[in-house]
Amino acid sequence: MPSTQHAQQTPLEIWERRTRRPLLGLALVFAAAYAVPVVDPGVPDAVHTACRAATWGVWALFAADYVVRLRLAEDRWRFVRTHVLDLCAVLLPLIRPLRLLQLVSALLLTGRLATAAAQVRLTTYVAGSVLVLWLFGALAVLEVERGKPDANIHTLGDAVWWAFTTMTTVGYGDLAPTTGLGRLLAIGLMISGIALLGLVTANIAAWFISQVERESEHEEQQTQALRELTREVASLRAELTALRQAEAGGGAGAGPAGGAVPGPAGEAVPRPAAPRE
């Protein structure tokens, strides 16, 4: 029997929940198909063709997913306005069919899928985004710089080192892109790296703050419990003191003088004398 939470979901939410993992798997397929020809340009032509077909096929499936979600949305215009990155990811390869634009599309769509997953913690997602951006930034700059005149990024190791120093804004200057597209990649990598690393730092700080607040709240609860216990003990002591005083007062005034017994109207009635033998 479906849970109440799932029963209350809209068709769009159900579609996104069911397609999240398959689309993430397709993103991994795209990553492999994109990386193989870049890392080893000497692979056979059949491998090149297969990788190209895989990248376009994954993009087509992501585009189909966007169309389906648009049709399932209750307010389609609002869906378009709130999913601008998804729309750009679908349209970029059509504007100019470059593998690099397909890479940007896949990164945007994968980011949307990862953030939609409720079970993925923010720190894990951001750390994974940093890793993906670093590796794919290195592959992208290697693809556009390798073999160009005056270029100094020729190997995967050079590209990985350059991407790392660029994302962390260290910028040693030993390696740098020389083409216009490579410099655009550098700008995007620097901005994205600063933003993502800032998110990592902020999220770690927020986690520490939440831990301190949780401990403070626990200590406050313990302090409040001790105060309540102290008040109860004081109340019990007051009641015990009152009972002791009542018993002491009752013992001191027990029985009227002269052996008289109180009558019905409160008058003292003499006690009858015991018979003599």
Interval 76-121: pLDDT, tens? 888 888 877 677 767 766 554 445 555 555 655 555 555 544 444 5
- Indicate the Cα dihedral angle 227, 229, 234, 237, nearest 10°: -170
Tell me the per-residue pLDDT of 25-62, one tens digit each, with 9 for 90 and over: 877 788 788 888 888 888 888 888 898 898 888 888 88
147: left (phi over 0), alpha (psi -120 to 50) or beta: left
pTM for the predicted model, two decimal places: 0.55
Report d(CA 20, CA 229) in Å as an integer: 52
Reported as type and span, the H/E element at residue 262 is strand 261-262
The whole-number pLDDT of residue 226 equals: 86
Q: Which residue has the tokens 């313990």?
A: 222
